[in-house]
Chains A and B, each alone.
Chain A
Amino acid sequence: MASPSPSERRLQKELSSLMKDPPPGVSVDANAVYQHLNLWNVHMKGADGTLYQGEDFQLQFRFSSKYPFDSPEVTFVGDNIPIHPHVYSNGHICLSILTDDWSPALSVQSVCLSIISMLSSCKEKASTLSIEKH
């Protein structure tokens, strides 16, 4: 294998750390990720005791070659998009750390944790009524 680029090196490190110590309810198909290191599919279970308990979601992470200096593009994909005020029906997520507040010290793991807590803090399932793109 040719020597990996800095972003690939970092993604490999993140992958092994995520597999060793995943946030609760989060899993990643490592074999698929090894095929395409810049495109991850992450499974996420709705946390117990929240409105999303028992639901399964799929997140897609897309990394540019400038990762981690550029934020990853993270969307919900698949047939179950969570109904949440900050999640559009096309899977787009309104979360500041994915745009303006991104920092290269964040990771797939910390993004997953933020999304879990975003879902968990939801008191009432309601979709976005007004389309206000950040």
Chain B
Amino acid sequence: MNRKPTTASSSNSLPTDNSKNNGDEKDKGDQMFECNICLDTAKDAVISMCGHLFCWPCLHQWLETRPNKKLCPVCKSGISKEKVIPLYGRGSTNQEDPRNKVPPRPSGQRAEAETGSGFGGFGFGDGSFQVSIGIGAFPFNLLVSAFNFTSHNPSDNQVENDRGPVISKIFLFLAFALVFWMIFGL
């Protein structure tokens, strides 16, 4: 992208602050180490498994921006905090993993909503599930309440954990079959 015809600038002998403002006077060699997000020379550099270079603060902010869709900005392959490699140059005295640093802009702690609590209640021991079966089919009502009884027995925890999912799956299947029958059988 940054294919610029840079002429070797002779005035670069002084390593002053100059280099900050005219960033386009940089050598091609420097550009190879530019962060793909801020386009500056990567600071606290990390590299992804797909080989793309970023500042850790830049990449971190991007991962926070799209927490459900963590893709490499350049090539869209999957990317995560655990799968990037920090780069330590010879000059870097501070060999701290950049990922351990507090990101410069902690953009408010997001409470994770993806714990799946909305779905977990569906499986077993759940009121709404049993009621919906109980209305339609008389015999099911009895079966379900029997199951309900065992699962509330505190000494039976292991059994419940083993059998619970299987039983609830059977009931779920029966419920679907029933609904199917009610819709198409009449």
Q: Residues on A close to B: CB < 8 A? A: 6, 9-10, 12-14, 16-17, 20-21, 66, 68-70, 103-107, 109-110
Bound CA span A109–B2, Å: 10
Contact A104 B62 (CB under 8 A): yes
Main secondary structure of the interface of B (DSSP, over half): loop
Contacts of A12 in B (CB 8 A): 23
Contact B39 A13 (CB under 8 A): yes
- Which among A16, A70, A104 is the interface contact of B24 at CB below 8 angstroms? A16
Given A17-B2, A17-B24, A105-B73, 12 additional A-B pairs, CB 8 A:
A10-B38, A13-B40, A17-B1, A20-B4, A21-B2, A68-B38, A70-B65, A103-B74, A103-B76, A104-B37, A104-B73, A107-B1
Bound CA span A16–B36, Å: 16
B71 within 8 A of A: yes
Contact B1 A109 (CB under 8 A): yes
**If A17-B1, A20-B24 touch, does A103 touch B39 (CB 8 Å cutoff)?**
no
16 contacts between A and B (CB under 8 A): A9-B40, A13-B23, A13-B39, A13-B40, A14-B39, A16-B24, A17-B2, A17-B4, A20-B5, A21-B2, A21-B4, A68-B37, A70-B65, A103-B76, A105-B37, A109-B1
Bound CA span A69–B55, Å: 14
Among B4, B37, B52, the one with the most A-chain Cβ atoms within 10 Å of its Cβ is B37
Interface size on B, residues (CB 8 A): 21
B61 within 8 A of A: yes
- Which among A9, A14, A105 is the interface contact of B36 at CB below 8 angstroms? A105
B110 within 8 A of A: no
Contacts of B2 in A (CB 8 A): 17, 21
B133 within 8 A of A: no
Bound CA span A12–B61, Å: 20
Nearest residue, chain B, Cβ from A101: B76
Contact B65 A110 (CB under 8 A): no
Contacts of A70 in B (CB 8 A): 65
